[in-house]
Structure 1
Amino acid sequence: MKRIWTNPALFTLLAALVAPAAHAVEYHTVLPKQSSIGFEFRQMGVPVQGGFKRFAALMAFDPARPEAASAKIEIDLASIDAGSPEADDESAGKLWFNRSAYPKATFVSSQIRPLGGNRYEMRGTLTLKGRSRELAVPVTFVPGKAAATFDGTFVLKRLDFGIGEGMWADVATVANEVKVKFRIAATGN
């Protein structure tokens, strides 16, 4: 004889445990027009802001399972806006990005760790100008009705990647620290 569970308290508890997973949204469709990657550095002590106009991002993020999340971002270095056409042209050369040999920068996540309050730490590898470095990037997840955003800011040291070599290696002229700020907007299923 089969037993049928009719305990309403047990049924309610099971439904509550299953419901968040069943209704969780996995964000995976990136909205390029609502996303941005920018940077700020100091040249001769003066802050200079810029950004990149073209990049591609692949991601999968389910707030109910952040440990399963993944992200890959490829930045087209030729899309730089460094504040002036002269600076944009200079960045293409061997002393800076050497874009003829390394046209893209790539970040690939390896781990996402929840920090609480919609904040996460994303670890991964940034490859720029043929050099790879591990990064830990703080990210804030902001859910929305039409789309969610993933906002982060981190500092990279340009000389770790050979950016600004030769006469540009003097950190009194161009600071070694570059603050990178990004916003990735995405929708889910």
Structure 2
Amino acid sequence: MKRMTRPGAIAVAAVLATAGLAANLAWAQIDTAKSTVTATARQIGVPMEGKFKKFDAAVSFDPAKLATSSAKVEIDVSSFEIGDAETTKEVRGRDWFDAAKYPKAVFQSTGIKAGAAGKFDVAGKLTIKGKTVDVVVPATYRQDAAGQVFDGVLPIKRTAFNIGAGEWGDTSVVADDVQIKFHIVTPAKKG
């Protein structure tokens, strides 16, 4: 079996990035300079983290009008970086993200509800590598001088999206569990 130096983060990165971004007081694009989406998985028990360099979202959120709030997040999976060029290239390849055939991971919300401890549960459909799975993303929301800020972690199973196919389907080397972490900032409204 081939060993990749850092494949674990790859598996998850596509999913996370997409699911957790869920709110704003009006439709807004994200502030990409202040926002991050990462994915962390374990390879032989060691946590490996990768980052998506390109993603976008449109969010509409009003805590008093959750029924009409929504979010859509698109992640360019070919922008995923895991730390070294060889591993990054392999993760973008067919067995992992297959970025040439499936260039984007997409999360589209279907509903937002108030959750426990001041969080919001953002239900939606996450599509990676042509596979769509229903997910619920727990997210926190706050407003500050910079704009609206959303944070959260979406746990996924990489094998549900056929990430890490072929010989990488064995979850004893790269764990099936992936944590997608996001920090999303929408710019403050002017005027």
**TM > 0.5:** yes
Partner of 2:114: 114
The answer for unaligned runs of 5 or more in structure 1 is 1-23
**Residue pair 2:26, 2:59 contacting (<8 A) in 1 also:** no
**Residue pair 1:71, 1:109 contacting (<8 A) in 2 also:** yes
**Within the alignment, does 1:124 sit opposite 2:155 as a pair?**
no
TM-score scaled to structure 2, two decimals? 0.82
Q: Higher relative contact order at CA 8 Å, sep ≥6: structure 1 or structure 2? A: 2
1:56-135 matches, within 5 Å, as: 56-115=56-115, 118-135=118-135
Counting matched residue pairs gives 166
Shift of 1:114: 1.0
The answer for unaligned runs of 5 or more in structure 2 is 1-23
RMSD of aligned Cα (Å): 1.6
**Residue pair 1:25, 1:188 contacting (<8 A) in 2 also:** no
CA distance in 1, matches of 2:143, 2:128: 31
Q: Which amino acid aligns with 2:180?
A: V
1:93-123 Cα deviation digits (max 9, x unpaired): 2111111110110000000001265410000
TM-score scaled to structure 1, two decimals? 0.83
In structure 2, the CA distance between the partners of 1:168 and 1:116, relative to structure 1 (3 Å rule), is closer
Larger Rg computed on CA atoms: 1
1:25-75 Cα deviation digits (max 9, x unpaired): 436242111111001100111110111010011111112212211111110
Which stretch of structure 1 is more off in the superposition, 72-81 or 143-152? 143-152
In structure 2, the CA distance between the partners of 1:96 and 1:188, relative to structure 1 (3 Å rule), is same
CA distance in 1, matches of 2:36, 2:177: 20
Give structure 1 regions of 4+ aligned residues with deviation exceeding 4 angstroms. Answer: none
The percent of aligned pairs where both chains have the same amino acid is: 37
